[in-house]
């Protein structure tokens, strides 16, 4: 096919498919415009590096699946062996297919998930000596987002009939220019996900691995860009692996050439994928985004997620989750009172959390016994479900389908269903083990029990939890590692339940934000961003998570006045203003709230419902604040006609007063009426001299003036925020 130039939404990718080698990416980044074939050929020619001493006598051009046989001495794309042989690959391209993003009738093509497709490339290659076939596919989506994946098939070799191929890894990569000199990714832990870490590119590999099938400490995005790249400025490239099991993501600088790249794929444990002759393995989608500034890079992910067929379309219902209000104390009068309070403040959904099933009075027993506990609920869940739905609220229920307590009826009856090696039990975590869903009978048991519960009761929402790491997760039947197959079985279970109950929304929770990847989000409707609901912690957690996910996919709840996880106390205004910029909920014992608090909470819920179309449909705005004590973020309508912006005082500042805040992202030619947005307009100390002169009446300013000059904001106590509402006149 020669040299292929793909373009969409300000992004170009130039792909060299000439010759027998695997394809090489010549350029991935800013749009190059329409280029004649002659110039594309010149781009390839001027990109070939000269030979240097101490290297191979032929220049190596980095392919999308790097091969050591071609001279690449960094991380190989394919690793594995056939009984100790075929340890390296030398693929020869056998077919290239390019689709220009149009169906036969001329309409815009769509990908399998319904996302508009600008173009796609499919390449097939074979290594006859190794007995392998490789398939690589790249899609350029209409929003400028890339995704690509590779698969390998064991064809067998004539002199080793029937020999398996042990696959160790299959990664796909994209090159970076030398301008990408700085790396930004994220780490963390349970209750403190998405903590940023930033450093210079160095020689070698910056490798991030998830080896526990969930990733509180993992990075949703690995970014590389120009030094000092920020939300608004600097070229930046990023990648994400859409897989809910073990994952590898890496940024690499190969020496001595200095070539840089971003890559990733599934992390496979030894012996986990053994391909018999005729069998295939397909790696997960690896997404890649480019932007001038992090905001543009992030917006491509948001636009893609919103374009999928499975993306939630209706209003995101404001909910209450009762976990921190009652824990395992499932008293019907208390739960009824909570429902009454929730309805009185305008909430729309009620979620009964852990503790409703047999033997579940603490977290050390009962998990896996998915029958309503007759001792606690003698009439089943009907009394609470009927009361909740009678109030006009939807009813939701908590499950943890992949887990089991050793102290449970199911574990006692079927110890062979526990995910473990044949000779030892993994150390317990939260007093539980993992149920091996690769065992057909175990999978069917969980499906049948969940299907029965969802069929008997009017349930509109499932909180799907996943509260322990997979450690030493072997399969008893084979003795092999079980992470890969367990992930596929979980996907099958979710897919089957969604097909049987298409009106039920599913939330991905993994002790909070431990499973928030685009693989699980292909089958769920939101993620629970963190088990920590402290609004100060949530400012950082949601800032990091929100680079990948738009607000409507992030569960963000108004916490109780006293945080259960950090011990801090915050006023309702700060707690609610933080939760406004997600899929809002409440995690608070409302029966203990004062009348004044309930009235204020009702005002916040009403404001959320009034503005959620904008909050969940607009472009997310993040402002590069010159003061690290202040965070400025918000949402701007797609047409630029309206915006809601939060000015958050995270801690004390070296400056007093804080100075003007710029608000970019608006239409520079339009005039906006800027006003405080109630109830997020409260200023500590009652206002007075703490408020700027324009505050009571509002102001009228052009989008250009707001972006270049800004407005003075009120003085605030630490851990407080105010909201601004901007409407084009």
- Dihedral angle, C-alpha 491, 496, 498, 500, nearest 10 °: -170
Judge whether 64 and 151 are in contact, CB under 8 Å: no
**Torsion sign over Cα 509, 514, 520, 525:** positive
Beta strand 461-464 with 394-399 is parallel
CA pair distance 611, 613, nearest whole angstrom:
6
Mark whether 531 is an active-site residue.
yes
Count other C-beta atoms under 10 Å from residue 364's C-beta: 16
CA distances from 168 to 25, 275, 281, 539 (A): 24, 11, 11, 39
- 465 among known catalytic residues: yes
DSSP string covering 227-264, please? Answer: TT--SSSSEEEEEEE--SSSEEEEEEE-TTT--EEEEE
| Cα atoms in the Cβ-side hemisphere of radius 13 Å centred on 565 | 17
CB burial class (10 A; 0-12, 13-18, 19+) of residue 710? middle
Q: Which of 98, 204, 78, 96 has its CA nearest to residue 153?
A: 78
Instruction: Note the helical H segments in 589-639.
Output: 595-615
3-state SS assignment for residue 68: helix
Q: Tally helices (H) and strands (E) across the chain.
A: 12, 38
| Catalytic residue (one of 465, 534, 619, 681) | 465
The answer to whether 93 and 21 have CB atoms below 8 angstroms apart is: yes
Token pair 């390296």: residue: 88
Active-site annotation holder among 303, 369, 531, 619: 531
| Integer Rg of the chain from CA | 27
> Residue 470: left (phi > 0), alpha (psi -120 to 50), or beta?
beta
Pairwise CA distance, residues 308 & 344, whole Å = 35
CA 668 to chain centre: 32
Active site residues: 465, 531
């Amino acid at each position: 096919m020669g040299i292929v130039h793909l373009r969409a939404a300000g992004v170009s990718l130039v792909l060299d498919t000439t010759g027998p080698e695997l394809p090489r990416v010549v350029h991935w980044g800013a749009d190059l415009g329409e280029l004649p074939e002659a110039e594309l050929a010149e781009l390839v020619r001027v990109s070939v590096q000269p030979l240097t001493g101490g290297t191979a006598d032929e220049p190596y051009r980095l392919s999308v699946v790097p091969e050591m046989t071609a001279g690449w001495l960094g991380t190989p794309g394919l690793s594995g062996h056939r009984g100790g042989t075929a340890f390296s690959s030398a693929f020869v391209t056998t077919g290239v297919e390019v689709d220009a993003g149009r169906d036969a009738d001329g309409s815009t093509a769509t990908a399998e998930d319904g996302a508009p497709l600008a173009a796609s490339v499919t390449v097939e290659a074979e290594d006859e000596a190794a007995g392998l076939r490789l398939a690589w596919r790249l899609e350029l989506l209409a929003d400028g987002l890339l995704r690509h994946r590779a698969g390998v098939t064991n064809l067998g070799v004539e002199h080793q009939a029937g020999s398996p191929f042990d696959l160790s890894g299959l990664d796909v990569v994209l090159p970076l220019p030398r301008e990408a000199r700085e790396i930004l990714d994220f780490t963390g832990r349970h209750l403190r996900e998405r903590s940023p870490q930033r450093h210079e590119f160095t020689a070698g590999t910056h490798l991030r691995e998830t080896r526990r099938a969930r990733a509180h400490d993992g990075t949703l995005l690995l970014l590389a860009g120009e030094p000092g790249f920020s939300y608004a400025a600097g070229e930046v490239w990023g990648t994400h692996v859409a897989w809910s099991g073990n994952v590898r993501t890496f940024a690499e600088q190969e020496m001595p050439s200095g070539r840089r790249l971003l890559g990733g794929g599934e992390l496979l444990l030894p012996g986990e994928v053994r391909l018999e002759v005729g069998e295939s393995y397909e790696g997960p989608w690896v997404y890649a985004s480019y932007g001038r500034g992090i905001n543009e890079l992030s917006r491509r992910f948001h636009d893609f997620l919103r374009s999928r067929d499975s993306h939630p379309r209706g209003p995101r219902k404001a909910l209450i989750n009762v976990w921190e209000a009652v824990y395992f104390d499932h008293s019907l009068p208390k739960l009824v009172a909570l429902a009454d309070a929730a309805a009185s403040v305008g909430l729309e959904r009620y979620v009964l959390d852990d503790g409703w099933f047999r033997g579940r009075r603490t977290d050390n027993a009962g998990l896996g016994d998915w029958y309503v506990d007759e001792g606690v609920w003698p009439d089943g869940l009907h009394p609470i479900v009927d009361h909740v739905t009678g109030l006009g609220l939807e009813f939701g229920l908590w499950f943890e389908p992949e887990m089991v307590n050793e102290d449970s009826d199911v574990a006692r009856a079927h110890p062979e269903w526990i995910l473990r090696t044949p000779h030892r039990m993994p150390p317990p975590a939260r007093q539980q083990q993992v149920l091996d869903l690769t065992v057909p009978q175990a999978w069917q048991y969980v499906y049948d029990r969940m299907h029965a519960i969802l069929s008997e009761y009017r349930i509109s929402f499932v909180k799907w939890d996943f509260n322990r790491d997979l450690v030493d997760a072997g399969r008893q039947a084979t003795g092999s590692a079980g992470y890969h197959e367990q992930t596929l079985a979980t996907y099958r279970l979710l897919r089957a339940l969604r097909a049987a109950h298409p009106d039920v929304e599913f939330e991905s929770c993994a002790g909070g934000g431990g499973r928030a990847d685009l693989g699980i989000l292909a089958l769920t409707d939101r993620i629970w961003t963190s088990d920590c609901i402290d609004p100060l912690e949530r400012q950082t957690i949601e800032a990091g998570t929100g680079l990948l996910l738009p607000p409507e996919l992030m569960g963000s709840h108004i916490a109780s006045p006293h945080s259960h996880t950090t011990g801090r106390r915050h006023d309702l205004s700060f707690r609610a203003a933080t939760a406004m910029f997600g899929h809002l909920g409440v995690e608070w014992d409302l029966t203990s709230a004062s009348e004044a608090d309930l009235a204020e909470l009702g005002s916040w819920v009403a404001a959320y419902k009034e503005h959620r179309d904008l909050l969940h449909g607009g472009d997310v705005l993040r402002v590069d604040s010159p003061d690290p004590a202040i965070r400025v973020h918000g949402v701007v309508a797609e047409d630029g006609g309206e915006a809601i912006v939060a000015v958050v005082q995270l801690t004390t500042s070296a400056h007093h007063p804080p100075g003007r805040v710029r608000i970019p992202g608006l239409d520079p030619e339009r005039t906006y009426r800027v006003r405080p947005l109630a109830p997020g307009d409260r200023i500590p100390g009652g206002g007075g001299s703490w408020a700027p002169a324009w505050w009571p009446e509002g102001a009228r300013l052009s989008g250009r003036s707001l972006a270049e000059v800004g407005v003075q904001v009120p003085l605030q106590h630490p851990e407080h925020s105010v909201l601004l509402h901007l409407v084009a006149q």
